[in-house]
Structure 1
């Protein structure tokens, strides 16, 4: 059975499951909850870690050096049991290593470590991917946390996503879970996106580039969460009609393109690690406390 690790300080309390190294709760010390609760009527996820792919593969099948492998949407890490390597008051680290089971669908010796840490009102979630084999290792990586919408104490207030760079990035629609090759006009105006349920009627909003490394998600005249991203150039925003969450998803690597190839290394923004190399990805979010 999965186990829970709790980290906390004077501002925040975080619960992390060993299953997928996935956060289960984020609460301020005053008792406000900020993370989606995984209501199965809408979506059981809360903050999955996406590896070794982000998004879908055509017919849920990848090619790796020409050989086919079955791979479900967003990869297998979110459904695997991680080991707890570090458990401190304000920091925990979970690790997943390659096994015979993972090699059957992803033929590489990897190590994926996910660390959650607190510094005052700021949470950092950092991941490190290591190629422990002898061959170049392609992969995609992403975070998928779901925050409450509306935010605590902000019922009835307009909510926005504000890009710090003030840009108006074009979006790339999804077609049956795969990326269309078309780019559509940005829903942002001078870096501001007013959230409305209708935005997500046709799945997630995917911005392959141009969103920058900082944004704010908040309620007008109410609480705001401040985000910063490291080595995560792609951004998706997602919700489901009727659900009370907004997923803010920074990625390095996207779904395969509709009508494109199945080779993993050819997916947009794919990473490739040489033997022995490591790569780090992280996001921080600061809460109003």
Structure 2
């Protein structure tokens, strides 16, 4: 699989378009920020554990991996299909790469819409930016709730998070709980979501690296989800456009109209 390397000063990133457009490495300020299990990267039948997978057209999972739309039942795997499909390279410069994913008969089996996604990965101003354009090529509005799944290198499971959120949703017991600045993932199998933040960014500590990371994002991403696995050296901090299972509720779906692409961003940088 061909790896594309981006550089800007001391910052660098690596992307493999044909493996779901995944970012496999990101170095900022001399720190290698991302965890990566290379066995899963090169196993085409596996979901990659590590890097920054792209979540589209959904974030999270669906009951029985199915949902109904206009009287028909469709099947989508967890986090959708974009992370498992090859993306096309559109343009490349030293510090940026634009890739594209377009709907096919295969994608329409699980998501009955024609679409085109263009993502530009850009190292600029000391950070790493993912600029996104979601274009609906169908006549009817296209529902979606994408996201990202960055894996950050740390053994610490009690994550210190700076956010103006006051409430978190614990998917382990589906209870709402007060958020006091720490998300304790010790012993948790499922994720925890910050659900009432108003400011579009979070800052969290990576103790082993001696630094903090800031993730900022467009207002299209109202939720930040944190997840880990016991015994693994990572914590995922994930901007999502809707909560888990939104295709069942259909309360917060993001609709993209034909002729009116949705453009947004996600930025990763070191925090002071």
Shared fold per TM-score greater than 0.5: yes
CA distance in 1, matches of 2:206, 2:86: 36
Q: Tell me, which stretches of 5 or more residues in structure 1 are unaligned?
A: 151-155, 258-263
- Secondary structure of 1:201 counterpart: coil
TM-score normalised by structure 1 residue count: 0.82
The answer on 1:233 being equivalent to 2:238 is no
- Secondary structure of 1:101 counterpart: helix
Is the alpha carbon distance of 1:158 and 1:105 closer, same or farther for their aligned partners in structure 2, counting shifts above 3 Å?
A: closer
- Secondary structure of 1:287 counterpart: strand
Displacement of 1:287 in angstroms is 2.5
CA distance in 1, matches of 2:97, 2:250: 32
Q: Which residue in 1 is equivalent to 2:91?
A: 86
Q: Is the 8 A contact 1:52 1:141 kept in 2?
A: yes
- Secondary structure of 1:118 counterpart: strand
Displacement of 1:222 in angstroms is 2.8
Q: Is the 8 A contact 1:265 1:271 kept in 2?
A: no
Given candidates 123, 128, 132, the residue that maps to 2:133 is 128
Q: Which residue in 1 is equivalent to 2:239?
A: 250
TM-score normalised by structure 2 residue count: 0.87
Q: Which residue in 2 is equivalent to 1:14?
A: 13
CA distance in 2, matches of 1:33, 1:232: 25
RMSD: 2.6
Q: Which residue in 2 is equivalent to 1:217?
A: 204
CA distance in 2, matches of 1:5, 1:65: 40
Q: Is the 8 A contact 2:212 2:270 kept in 1?
A: yes
Q: Tell me, which stretches of 5 or more residues in structure 2 are unaligned?
A: 41-46
Would you tell me which structure has more strand in proportion to its own residues?
2
CA distance in 1, matches of 2:48, 2:235: 12
Displacement of 1:96 in angstroms is 0.2
Q: Report Cα offsets for 1:134-154 as digits up to 9, x if no partner.
A: 11111111011111115xxxx
Displacement of 1:36 in angstroms is 0.6
Q: Is the 8 A contact 2:172 2:188 kept in 1?
A: no
Q: Report Cα offsets for 1:60-101 as digits up to 9, x if no partner.
A: 112121211111110000000000111011111110001121
Displacement of 1:126 in angstroms is 2.0
CA distance in 1, matches of 2:266, 2:34: 15
Q: Is the 8 A contact 1:126 1:280 kept in 2?
A: yes
Is the alpha carbon distance of 1:45 and 1:286 closer, same or farther for their aligned partners in structure 2, counting shifts above 3 Å?
A: closer
Displacement of 1:197 in angstroms is 4.4
- Secondary structure of 1:35 counterpart: coil
CA distance in 2, matches of 1:137, 1:210: 26
Displacement of 1:44 in angstroms is 2.2
Given candidates 168, 171, 186, the residue that maps to 2:169 is 171
Q: Report Cα offsets for 1:188-215 as digits up to 9, x if no partner.
A: 32xx21x5541x5131102333263121
Query: Greater shift after overlay, 112-121 or 67-76?
Result: 112-121
Displacement of 1:52 in angstroms is 0.8
Is the alpha carbon distance of 1:157 and 1:128 closer, same or farther for their aligned partners in structure 2, counting shifts above 3 Å?
A: closer
Q: Is the 8 A contact 1:55 1:74 kept in 2?
A: yes
CA distance in 2, matches of 1:20, 1:241: 25
